[in-house]
Amino acid sequence: MKRSYKIIIFVFLIPFSLFSEVQNSPFHQKRIMFLGDSITRAGIYFRYIDYYLQKSFPDEKIDIIGLGLGSETTTGESETQHPWPRPNVHERLDRALELVKPDIVSVCYGMNDGLYHPFSQERFRDYQKGILALIEKVRASGAEVIVMTPPPFDPQSLNPRKTLKSEGADDFGFKTPYENYNDVLAKYGQWIMTLKIPGVTTIDIHTPIQKHVDEMRTKDPKYTISGDGIHPNALGHHLMARSFLKSLNLLNDDKSLAEAKEARKTDRLCALINKRTSQRANAWLQYVGYTRGTETVKTDSISDAEQEATLMQQEINKLKLSKD
């Protein structure tokens, strides 16, 4: 299914005084590569993380590269109704590690790996093998790993063109997902949080996001953080970023984010960081290369994109200094 992505510009005007308790980030002088499916391909959550880190730690050099790919899994398995075989992250992982040379790799998979079916021990084992193999390859490269749980599936906000299916149905997939698929993702996430591997950090985004939705629906039964049940909307990505930052002790004040959400969208710094991070993600995705359905993409050089990114970062740095 072909999906277009639009750059969504967020502005979160957060007073610098709110960051005073956090002295250093674990990302200084580090390159962080974000891998994932279409949720990471949309890129909103890691663009927000980039903005927050650059504004919180203006003197640090933090290098974020997004490499999400729509429809991707850690297993390469596909449901029968998918129009073509889902891409497997392992097809491009070695190239990504070699070309990007990350210090830290953050991964977020699971939404597609369960194939929108009821829980299956076989599919679960495939997911476990895929995640563990990914971790092993990343660690062998010398990089650290951050493994995020999959975000929730929200049947209430399912796209009207799609139909929920009960457990006894004869077929499931992204068009006809299992009605309790969120329970499957919760099990995947619970397993992620049991991993105790040196050099690996696990982050639970599923639980806090689901808790937020449940609490808000006591006030507004129609409340949603997804436009189609699968892909988080802007607020959903905002919650993903918040969970990521809180888990790493980089966010001390929930209220600051709530206030930021309502801030006027006039922060030039935010707009520049969003543009730079998004353009770089597109360029690096094509430079690493991928195959998705009948489409194979691979560019020969990243130099032009990196030169443009360097110029944009210089402008960003000037803005950061002017706000001190």
Domain boundaries, the chain: 16-322
What residues contact 194, with CB distance under 8 A and at least 6 apart? none
Alpha-carbon span 100 to 87, nearest angstrom: 20
- Note the pLDDT tens digit of each residue in 77-99: 999 999 999 999 999 999 999 99
Answer yes or no: pTM beyond 0.85. yes
Q: Band of the pLDDT at 17, cuts 50, 70, 90?
A: very low
pLDDT at position 274 over 80: yes
pLDDT at position 16 over 60: no
Per DSSP bridges, beta strands 290-292 and 295-297 are: antiparallel
Q: Supply the pLDDT for residue 175.
A: 94
Q: Supply the pLDDT for residue 47.
A: 94
- Domain 16-322: what homologous superfamily? SGNH hydrolase (3.40.50.1110)
Neighbours of 259 (CB within 10 A): 15
Place of tokens 């130099």: 303
Give the best-scoring range by mean pLDDT among 117-131, 151-165, 264-278.
117-131
Q: Supply the pLDDT for residue 265.
A: 64
Give which of 285, 292, 278 is closest to 95, Cα–Cα.
Answer: 285
Q: Supply the pLDDT for residue 24.
A: 80
Q: Band of the pLDDT at 10, cuts 50, 70, 90?
A: very low
Alpha-carbon span 6 to 255, nearest angstrom: 28
- Note the pLDDT tens digit of each residue in 216-258: 999 999 999 998 999 999 889 999 999 999 999 998 655 444 5
**How far is CA 43 from each of CA 232, 297, 310, rounded to the nearest angstrom?**
11, 19, 20
